[in-house]
Amino acid sequence: MKELEKTKRISISTVLFILVLIIGVLTFKQPRNVYKKTQEETLSALKSTDYLVHLEDIANQDPVIIDVRSKSEYSISHIENAINIPTAEILENKSIALLSDVKNTGETAFIYGKNPDEANSAWMLLYQLGYDNTKILNVETNHIDNKLVVKNYSLEKPIANYLEIFKTITPEKVEQIKKITPKPTKKVIPVKKKKKRKPEGGC
Amino acid sequence: MKESKKNRHVYWNPYFGGFLLGLLIIFTFYMTGRGLGASGVMKSGVVTMVDQVSHEHTLHNAYYSKFVSGDKSPMNNWLVFETLGVLAGAFLSGSLANRIGFRVQHSPKITVKRRLVFALLGGILFGLGAQIARGCTSGAALSGMAVLSTGGFITMLSIFGTAFLFAYFFRKNWI
Amino acid sequence: MGPLIPNGILSYEWNIIIAVLIGLAFGFILEASGFSSSRKLAGVFYGYDFAVLKVFFTAALVSVIGLYYMDYLGWINISMLYVHPTYLWAAIVGGAIMGIGFVAGGFCPGTSICAVAIGKLDAWVYVLGIMIGVLVFSEAFGTFENIYNDTNLGNITLVDSLGLPASWIILTVTVIALIAFFISDVVRKRVKKVFY
Amino acid sequence: MINRKLAKILSKRYIILASLLLIAALGLVLLPSYQKNENTTAENLLAKVINPERYITSDVLADNIITNDPSIILVDVREVDEYTAYTLPNAINIPLGDILNEDYQGYLDQDRYNIILFSNENFKADQAWLLLNRLGYSNLHVLNGGINGWYHTILNPPKPTEDMPNEAYELYNFRRAAGLFFGVGIKAKEKKVVKKAVKKVVPKPKKKKRKPEGGC
């Protein structure tokens, strides 16, 4: 069989194929942080609100406190011996190392930010990555006359009487401003047309 | 042998051809998420022809109606375009190695008529089998094996198995 | 990034253009490796030319190894790829009929299209035969219906049906293929040469 | 002689090629398997969480509702009782507890509509947003400030003082007008007269089967 002798091309292509595979494998690094908790587990953790902790609960023992605000806010003022990890760097090696050794020693880390919403994103990410020894400090921090005021934050409380608004107030005549109210600029949210096309196949 | 005649039958090294075909399958799966195919074209062809002949027949027949429902014309199918490419590619490769020419390739022992009869018979059987198994050698077996699909392996084994079994009966056609 | 079009990275219109390009390459490779001549195809059954076995197995191996490496490296998402559905009896009976058709006719649909392109009249007849076969199947769909829809095991892969991890299956398939290549060489040396 | 030497090399070459292929297959076996992140990796999720692009202000939302923007679906993640007390027009109620169960995925996992999650404040809506983003859903937005913010801006806007720029007045007028649309200030009994915002039938998009279909 004549063509079996012509092996130049096949050997070149096989070597190239193997090279591509080797390069691919060598340059490949496994994803560092992998979700340990499934969505359902995280959801059930959200239902029980024991991850929200008030300031006075932790006043006694000296806790590990993590401040997720930016460096500048942290430098202005922060809760004493709080460690500053801005949310953007929560997944950096340094912070992951810190969190894992906090987890090994069995302590719980408390996360706080300007308000619980900010701390929530960092906390949820860490929880899903398996650091379930973290909790959110349910506090609102703002800097008033160069002293950090930390107040407990009432979370998701509806304003007491917002239903009455529909009954009481009559619209007072707004006559002193006679200019025709400009048509509010119609902000068009560009709807990304992303069609997910399934692959069909077969012969 | 004449120079042009000599290199008419020099094909690629089969391993090289297989290697390129493997890369092509990877490329197809990477781009479109589906494998190659061939016998789907004949089905679309038949369905369009039957549809031209009598439209309501295609609507009533259980098998045709699957392909003619709504505005989806059977010809608007991935395989039809792929087959156009196959025709062009084969013509290109054939002309490069000047294998183009109308002829019937048959073993010296048999007549052209017998070869054509067996080709027709083989075609009918293959058309039937391809529809039952939902795929032919390149669609079900090759693309199936690329993703380790059990159906693909079974189809491949049964095709080559029965082919080897029945090879004895058709040996006069080939050897 | 996985299959580009299903993931929406490439728009659906690309599908047609890619189809033609892939077909072009498919036709060229098949024709260049000699699959347009039916006698070369039939050689695998009579031992004088194992081109079909070599091309087929190499293509399957290269694609399966390549796809699973890409899956490992995260370039493709195997679970989104189309897996041929497994209808047990349909595959066996259909495969048997196709096997006989293969030995009798000498072509399979892909290679017959290649042969049609370079002017093989027996391939034209073969394609006509396939169409008649499809016609027979669809007209008499009632009789074939029970085999057609029999024991549908869904789009399962060998990993679920054998329970082995994919890499071991690929290793065994590779070893089997290499043994088959070796045996085909031994057999080809002993079988009487056929010039075509 | 040449032929014999050629054959000797060739037979060895095929063995080399076969062994290369075997090594490739063996490599696949020996590679340490790792748990793959499904659709979004932690880093992508973090990147999405940081940028506040997901927030939509109540003014923009009020404008969208008034101009009957068809591309938005409002999802209220509060509990049922708060939902029945007051909610935005045409909002669907998916309490945070069962945001993941199957029958709501038809609404959440599609890319034709912009889904706007809201609760009393940002907290619950953010959590829902993060969970859904981990599943890889797209077009999710959160109403900045939630219902409380909505109350403070649209329903009961603070009156601008004299030294405020003209925009503050315009904004105040817009909010006052929007408040009217949402029924503020109209006596309870007349309230029924006001044209009820037509109940937009929120089409439950049929969840496309994930499995690719094929044909031969």
The whole-model pTM stands at 0.78
Task: Check residue A110 and give its pLDDT.
Answer: 83
Sign of the dihedral through C-alpha A172, A173, A176, A178: positive
Contact D36 C74 (CB under 8 A): yes
Q: How far is A56 from chain D (nearest CA, A)?
A: 22
CA distance C101 to C79: 33
Q: Dihedral angle at the C-alpha atoms of D144, D150, D152, D157, nearest 10 degrees?
A: 120
Contact D215 A88 (CB under 8 A): no
pLDDT, tens only, D84-111: 888 788 888 888 888 888 888 877 877 7
Mean pLDDT lowest for which of A161-175, B147-161, D45-59, D87-101?
A161-175
pLDDT band at B9 (very low <50, low <70, confident <90, very high): confident
CB contact, 8 Å: D216 with chain B?
yes
Mean pLDDT lowest for which of B84-98, B141-155, D165-179?
D165-179
Name the residue of chain B whose CA is nearest to A15's CA. B19
Task: Check residue B83 and give its pLDDT.
Answer: 92
pLDDT, tens only, C26-43: 999 999 998 988 888 888
Q: How far is A26 from chain B (nearest CA, A)?
A: 21
For residues B33-41, average pLDDT: 86
* Angle value at C-alpha D53, between D52 and D55, nearest 5 degrees: 75
pLDDT, tens only, D1-25: 567 777 776 678 888 888 888 888 8
Residue A51, pLDDT above cutoff 90: no
Query: Residue D75: which H helix or E strand, with range?
Result: strand D72-76
Contact D25 C65 (CB under 8 A): yes
CA distance A118 to B72: 51
Contact D71 A43 (CB under 8 A): no
Task: Check residue D204 and give its pLDDT.
Answer: 59
| Cβ atoms C54, C47 nearer than 8 A | no
For residue A129, how far is the Cα from the chain centroid? 11
CB contact, 8 Å: C41 with chain B?
no
Residue D73, pLDDT above cutoff 80: yes
For residue B26, how far is the Cα from the chain centroid? 19
Task: Check residue A186 and give its pLDDT.
Answer: 57
CA distance D172 to D179: 10
Domain D42-153 has CATH 3.30.70.3040: no
Residue A125, pLDDT above cutoff 60: yes
Give the count of beta carbons closer than 10 Å to the beta carbon of residue A79: 16
Compute the count of residue pairs across chains A and B with CB atoms less than 8 Å apart.
61
Task: Check residue A170 and give its pLDDT.
Answer: 53
pLDDT, tens only, D130-160: 888 888 788 888 888 888 888 888 777 788 8
For residue B121, how far is the Cα from the chain centroid? 15
Residue D143, classed as helix, strand or coil, is strand
pLDDT band at C23 (very low <50, low <70, confident <90, very high): very high
CA distance D37 to D109: 19
Task: Check residue D194 and give its pLDDT.
Answer: 40
Kindly provide the ipTM of the predicted complex, given to two decimals: 0.74
For residues A180-189, average pLDDT: 56
Touching subunits of D (3+ CB pairs, under 8 Å) are A, B, C
Domain ranges across chain D: 42-153
Domain ranges across chain C: 34-81+172-196, 85-154
Task: Check residue A192 and give its pLDDT.
Answer: 58
Sequence-ordered alpha helix ranges (H) in B33-149: 39-53, 55-60, 62-68, 78-96, 112-132, 143-146
pLDDT, tens only, A63-104: 788 888 888 888 888 777 788 888 888 888 888 888 888 888
Q: Measured between beta carbons, which residues in chain A are less than 8 angstroms from residue C73?
A: 24-25, 28
CB contact, 8 Å: C152 with chain B?
no
Which among C46, C22, C44, C20 is positioned nearest to C34, based on CA atoms?
C44
For residues B48-53, average pLDDT: 86
Q: Measured between beta carbons, which residues in chain B are less than 8 angstroms from residue A203?
A: 35-40, 79, 130, 134-136, 138-140, 143
Task: Check residue A160 and give its pLDDT.
Answer: 65
Which amino acid does the sequence have at A5?
E
Query: Residue D159: which H helix or E strand, with range?
Result: none
CB contact, 8 Å: B38 with chain A?
yes
| Nearest-by-Cβ selection for B118 from C10, C31, C104 | C104
Contact C167 D211 (CB under 8 A): no
Name the residue of chain C whose CA is nearest to B79's CA. C19
Residue C114, pLDDT above cutoff 50: yes
| Cβ atoms C196, B11 nearer than 8 A | no
